[in-house]
């Protein structure tokens, strides 16, 4: 059986242990401290919290994923529907149903499955009712609340985002029996929510960084997994895996899974195996990547071409604009930011990166680009440190990341030669 998992929440037995991080988080939670946990996408935050941390904390988990929420109504519905995940939670659901009675439940299956009339959107005021019901249940049955991709609340229009955060904070600050973990992958937005003086959540949670797993521990773990399947993983091949994936846990697992599938027991894994594994991934993802590429505007495609060939080139510089054929650095930034909003790129410390290394490899191969320089080692974070060097000065408003709905890439201009 392939011992590597990716693309969804990964059970504990398929995760590399992180005992130092566990100790830090458990220490905060047992003392009643809410936690802000920051880490890039696909680092394994959700898997770690759900399957490694929560069982050791000994509480039922109430988890809401706010990824790509588009309205207050969607946020409230996610929060109510998350109650369905509780075992034996009929009382909590009844309280939530009663509190949201104005929403007129349309369907109820077995008293647990809730549905609401889409013609009657739920307002931010319902958040207080849902969290109050949850808090009452938490006093009887210990609960751990996890709000994942919390920064995406700032994708709402500013007034809506401010109303949602204010409603949440008005209840959460009084719930001493219910610890909260606010997990997020966009440090700029999370920093604004928890560190801007005007934010309702200002200084309301201890910051814990969820960075790359220490390379020694990660190397030993994947080497042991291959060894259990009769495969030998030499150190240079392990190093290539981490270089290709920048030690992002989900990408490491995906590449190792493919490496397992292109090899057999009693084999020593080599460069040919790793190249075949990358070919397998790029082939599996080719159709999806072609669809993404077809939706890009010409400027966006040009920026991706330059970024794939020159990952260390400052995007705000004149050289990047010149190579992309775009007249100004501000236009380059707008194109890159639009793809960041779509999730094709992510931005960290002023540098843009592809959402997966395999998409970068696919673009590189599609356009037959020259070899790229080795990327720098990713940051390694202290488990309980916000790393002041990474902190930014407060923006004029913590709602700086909130914006009106950005234009979708769908329907963008087709790509013209010479970009492919």
Of 348, 350, 340, residue with least CA distance to 320: 350
CB 299 within 8 A of CB 326: yes
**Helix extents (H) in 148-214:** 158-172, 187-195
Are 197 and 116 in a shared domain? Answer: yes
Q: Which residue has the tokens 């970009």?
A: 419
Q: Which residue has the tokens 């594994």?
A: 277
On whether residue 374 sits in a domain, the answer given is: yes
CA dihedral 134, 136, 139, 141 (to 10 degrees): -50
Are 153 and 200 in a shared domain? Answer: yes
- Give the residue ranges of the chain where pLDDT is below 50: 87-90, 101-115, 379-394, 403-420
Are 145 and 200 in a shared domain? Answer: yes
**What DSSP character marks residue 113?**
E
What CATH number is given to the structural domain containing 68?
A: 3.40.50.300
Residues spanned by the domain of 82 = 12-209
Distance in angstroms (rounded) separating the CA atoms of residues 160 and 151 = 14
pLDDT on residue 409 = 34
Distance in angstroms (rounded) separating the CA atoms of residues 166 and 194 = 13
Are 27 and 91 in a shared domain? Answer: yes
Q: What is the 3-state secondary structure (H, E, C) of 300-363?
A: HHHHHHHHHHCCCCCCCCHHHHHHHCCCCHHHHHHHHHHHHHHCCEEEECCEEEECCHHHHHHH
pLDDT on residue 124 = 82
Which of 154, 178, 209 finishes a domain? 209
Nearest 5°: phi and psi at 9?
-60, 125
Question: Rounded to an integer, what is the distance from CA 189 to the centroid of its chain?
Answer: 13
On whether residue 394 sits in a domain, the answer given is: no
Are 153 and 220 in a shared domain? Answer: no
On whether residue 28 sits in a domain, the answer given is: yes
Q: How many other C-beta atoms lie within 10 A of the C-beta of residue 268? A: 11
Direct distance between the N- and C-terminal alpha carbons of the chain, in angstroms, rounded to an integer: 39
Spatial neighbors of 6 by CB under 8 A, at least 6 apart, are 250, 251, 253, 254, 257
pLDDT on residue 384 = 38
Strand partners, 207: 36
Distance in angstroms (rounded) separating the CA atoms of residues 191 and 181 = 15
Are 174 and 65 in a shared domain? Answer: yes
SS3 content of the chain, % helix, strand, coil (to 5): 50, 10, 40
On whether residue 404 sits in a domain, the answer given is: no
pLDDT on residue 327 = 85
**What DSSP character marks residue 184?**
E
Are 196 and 172 in a shared domain? Answer: yes
Are 32 and 179 in a shared domain? Answer: yes
Are 159 and 277 in a shared domain? Answer: no
CB 146 within 8 A of CB 179: no
Which of 153, 176, 209 finishes a domain? 209
Count structural domains, the chain.
2
Q: Which residue has the tokens 């993983």?
A: 233
Are 178 and 230 in a shared domain? Answer: no
Are 227 and 285 in a shared domain? Answer: yes
**Helix extents (H) in 104-186:** 125-140, 158-172
pLDDT tens, residue by residue, 75-122 = 998 888 887 666 444 455 555 555 554 444 433 323 333 445 556 777
On whether residue 29 sits in a domain, the answer given is: yes
Distance in angstroms (rounded) separating the CA atoms of residues 18 and 6 = 17
Are 189 and 290 in a shared domain? Answer: no
CB 273 within 8 A of CB 259: yes
On whether residue 307 sits in a domain, the answer given is: yes
pLDDT on residue 395 = 54
pLDDT on residue 401 = 53
Strand partners, 144: 61
Which of 186, 209, 232 finishes a domain? 209
Buried b / exposed e along 352-379 (16+ C-beta atoms within 10 A) = bbbbbbbbbbbbbebbeeeeeeeeeebe
pLDDT on residue 382 = 41
On whether residue 386 sits in a domain, the answer given is: no
The token duo for 390 is 């990474």
On whether residue 153 sits in a domain, the answer given is: yes
């Amino acid at each position: 059986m392939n011992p590597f998992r990716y693309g969804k929440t990964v059970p504990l037995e398929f995760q590399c242990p992180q005992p130092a991080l566990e100790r830090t988080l458990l220490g905060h939670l047992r003392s009643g401290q809410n936690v802000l946990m920051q880490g890039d996408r696909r680092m394994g935050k959700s898997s770690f919290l759900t399957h490694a941390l929560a069982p050791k904390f000994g509480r039922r988990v109430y988890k809401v994923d706010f990824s790509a929420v588009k309205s207050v109504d969607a946020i409230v519905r996610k929060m109510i529907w998350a109650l369905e995940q509780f075992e034996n939670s009929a009382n909590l659901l009844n309280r939530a149903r009663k509190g949201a009675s104005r929403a007129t439940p349309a369907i109820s299956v077995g008293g647990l499955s809730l549905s609401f009339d889409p013609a009657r959107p739920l307002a931010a005021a319902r958040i207080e009712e849902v969290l109050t019901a949850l808090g009452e249940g938490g006093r009887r049955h210990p609960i751990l609340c996890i709000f994942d991709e919390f920064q995406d609340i700032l994708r709402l229009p500013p007034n809506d985002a401010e109303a949602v955060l204010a409603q949440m904070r008005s209840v959460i600050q009084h719930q001493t029996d219910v610890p909260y973990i606010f997990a997020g992958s966009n440090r700029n937005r999370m920093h604004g929510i928890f560190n801007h003086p005007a934010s309702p959540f200002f200084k309301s949670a201890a910051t814990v960084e969820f960075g790359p797993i220490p390379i020694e521990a990660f190397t030993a773990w994947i080497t042991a997994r291959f060894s259990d399947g009769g495969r030998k993983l030499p150190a240079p091949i392990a190093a290539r895996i981490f270089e290709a994936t920048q030690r992002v846990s989900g990408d490491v697992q995906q590449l190792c899974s493919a490496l397992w599938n292109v090899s057999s027991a009693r084999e020593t894994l080599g460069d040919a195996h790793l190249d075949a594994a990358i070919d397998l991934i790029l082939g599996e993802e080719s159709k999806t990547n072609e669809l993404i590429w077809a939706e890009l505007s010409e400027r966006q495609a040009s920026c991706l071409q330059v970024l794939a060939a020159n990952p260390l080139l400052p995007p705000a510089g004149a050289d990047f604009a010149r190579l992309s054929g775009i007249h100004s650095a501000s236009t380059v930034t707008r194109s890159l930011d639009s793809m960041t909003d779509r999730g094709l790129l992510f931005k960290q410390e002023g540098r843009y990166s592809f959402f997966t290394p395999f998409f970068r490899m696919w673009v590189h191969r599609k356009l037959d680009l020259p070899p790229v320089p080795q990327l720098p080692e990713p940051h390694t974070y202290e488990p309980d440190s916000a790393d002041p060097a990474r902190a930014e000065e407060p923006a004029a408003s913590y709602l700086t990341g909130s914006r009106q709905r950005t234009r979708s890439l769908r329907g963008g201009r087709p790509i013209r030669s010479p970009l492919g």
